[in-house]
Amino acid sequence: MHRSTAYLMLLLSSIEISCCGGVSRRRRNAEARQSLMLHACLTLFVVVSVTVLSFANLVKSTSKQRNLIINGDNVDPSKYQFFLRSWPDSVPDTNDMLCGASLIHSDIILTAAHCQGGFNYGAMAYDPSTRMFNRYKKVDLQIAFPDYYQNIEVINYDLMVLRLSTPITDIQPVTLNNDPDFPIDNNIGSADNSSLLEGLGFGLTEEGTMARGLRVGHFAPITNDQCYRRLRIANVELTEDVLCVDPSNDESICSGDSGGPLTASLTDPNDDNNIIQVQVGVVSFGNECQPDWVPDGFARVSFFTDWIKKQICKYSRDPPADCFDYYQSKEYNKFISEHGASVAIPFDKAQISFEFRHDFLAEQTAFSIRNLLSNKIEYVGPQYVPKRGGFFNSTFLLPVPGNYAIEVYDTGIDGLTNPDYVNKNYPEGSWVISAKYRNGGRLEALATGDAVFETFQTKQIRLPKNVPPLITDLPSFSPTSSPTESSNPSVVPSLAPSTSYEPTMVEWKNNTHLAIGRVDVDNGTTGGVNATIGTNTFAPASSSSVPLTYSKKSRSHYTRSMMLFLSLGWVVLLSL
C-alpha cells in the first residue's frame, strides 16, 4: 500500500472509532437521535474514504509520472567528447532549462530551437584532462532556424546553432550526416539497421532525478508514414525535417535531453579500422519519457546541413577552408553588404532598429518579424545572448513597401513582467521598433510593446516605399552603453553579466524547468495527440495534458486541503 494511503487510512480509522463512540454516548438520551447520528457518521465515513483514496491514487499516479525514464546506460564520456550541456544560472529562484548540444565546429554548437535561453549562462564541454563534462564555455551568439517560428502551434524545424566565445581546439567535432536517405529512406521505408542509433543526454533517470553522468539510449529509425500511422499528431507536422525513431529495450528520451545529439556509429571513410560517430538527429519531442509504442521525434540533421554550413561560414571566428566557395557567392556578398560594420541601406529596403528591454527572466523571451504578404519569417531574435534586465538594439533590413507583424514570445507565460521574488522597483520589459531609409528619412516608434501579456504578443506595422528625409523625434529609449546586436562575425557582443541588473530577492521558490518536447497519446476523445515543448502546451481546445514536471507546491497544497477537510469533519462529528 502507498504510504500516503496507509497514513490517511489510519486517520479514517480514528474518525470511525470517534463516530461510533459519539453514538454510544448519545444512546442514553434518545433512540431516535442515535439512529440519525449513526447514519450521518457512516455517510461521512464513506465520503471521506472515497476522497482520501482518490487523493492517494492521484499522488501515486503523479509520483509515477516523475519517475518515467529513458532507462539508458552510463557511458564512457571520452567516446562522446563532442557532447555539451547547458549550464544553469546562479539564481536559485529561476526555472533553469537543461539542454544538450553537440560540437560541430571549433566554436559552433548545435542544439534544438526550443532550447532558446537554455545556454544564456554558458555550456559545459568535455575536458580531456578530467575526462568529465566540466569545462565552462560562454555563448555569445544564437541563430534559430527561422521557420521554427512559422507556426508556434506546431513543433517543426526545431534547430538552432550557437557560437562559443572561445574555440575548443582539443576535441574533434562530430560529423554531420548529409545523406537524406540515412538512417532511413522515407520514400521506400528501408533502413540501415546494422546498428541502432544512440541518443545522448543528462536528462531524468528512472529514479526521477537528473543523471549524474552522460547516458545513452538506443533507437531504431522509422519512416514518417510509419510514424503517422502509429499516432495522429495534432501539433507536429511530419515533414522532411522530422526524424521518427522507435525506443528500444524500454529506453526513451526524457526531460533534460532536448537538443542533444542522435548519432550512428559508422566506419570512418578514411580509415576502415576506425569507427566514428555521425550525428543524424537533434532531440526534439517525445511521449512523457515513456518507452512505449509512441515514437520519439528528432530534428533530421540532413535536412538542415546546407543551412548549418552557411551559419558556420557566416559567424565562426575560425571558419573552415570549405567556406571559400560560399564566400564567392552572391548570397554571401549580399549578407555582408547587409550585416557588415557599415551598412549602406538599399533603395528597396529600410533599416530596422528593434530596441528591446528585457525583464528579469530574459532567457524566456524570443521574437520574430513576419512578412504578412508572404508569411515568411524575415528575422528571428534575439541573436545576442541577453542579460537580465538588459537593453539591446537589433538592426536588420526589411523590404519596402511591406506589411509586417512583430511577434514576441514568452515561455514563462508571464509576458515581460518580473516574477514576484524580484524587487518591485526592478524594471519590466518593453520594446520599440523604428525604421530608417536610405535618404535619411525615419519612422520613429512604429510600434511599441509593454510587459503585460502571457505567451504571445503581436503588433503590425506598415513600411511605405519612401518617407521624406525629415526626422521626427518621438519618445524612445534613452541612449545606453549596452552592446548592440550585430550579425557581423568580427563583432563580439559583450558577455560579462552586469551586477547592476541583479535584483533584491524578497521570496524564495524552488522550481526546475527541464526542456523537452512531449507527445500526449491519443485517448480517443481529442482527435489526436499533442506534442509539447517544455512547460508550454499547444493543444486543441478539447484536449487535456498533464505537465511533465511535478510541482511540489501543488502537492503540498492538496495535502493541506485534504488535512483541513479531515479536521473539519472531525470537529463536526465531535460537535454532534
pLDDT of 415-469, one tens digit each?
999 999 999 889 999 999 999 999 999 999 999 999 999 999 999 999 999 998 8
Per-residue pLDDT, 566: 53
| CA proximity to 264, closest of 203, 215, 218 | 218
C-alpha cell at 170: 582539443
Q: Is 307 helix (H, G, I), strand (E, B) or coil?
A: helix
Residue 86 in contact with residue 119, Cβ under 8 Å?
A: yes
pLDDT digits (tens, 9 = 90+) for 194-223: 468 988 877 655 555 666 778 888 888 999
Q: How distant, in Å, are the alpha carbons of 59, 104, 448 from that of 283?
A: 30, 16, 36
Please give the model's pTM, rounded to 2 decimal places: 0.71
Per-residue three-class SS string for 40-80: HHHHHHHHHHHHHHHHHHHHHHHHHHHCCCCCCEECCHHHH
Instruction: Provide the residue type at 229 as one letter.
Output: R
Per-residue pLDDT, 211: 65
Per-residue pLDDT, 280: 96
Per-residue pLDDT, 56: 39
| CA proximity to 259, closest of 414, 424, 420, 84 | 84
Higher per-residue pLDDT: 227 or 158:
158
Q: Is the pLDDT of residue 299 over 50?
A: yes
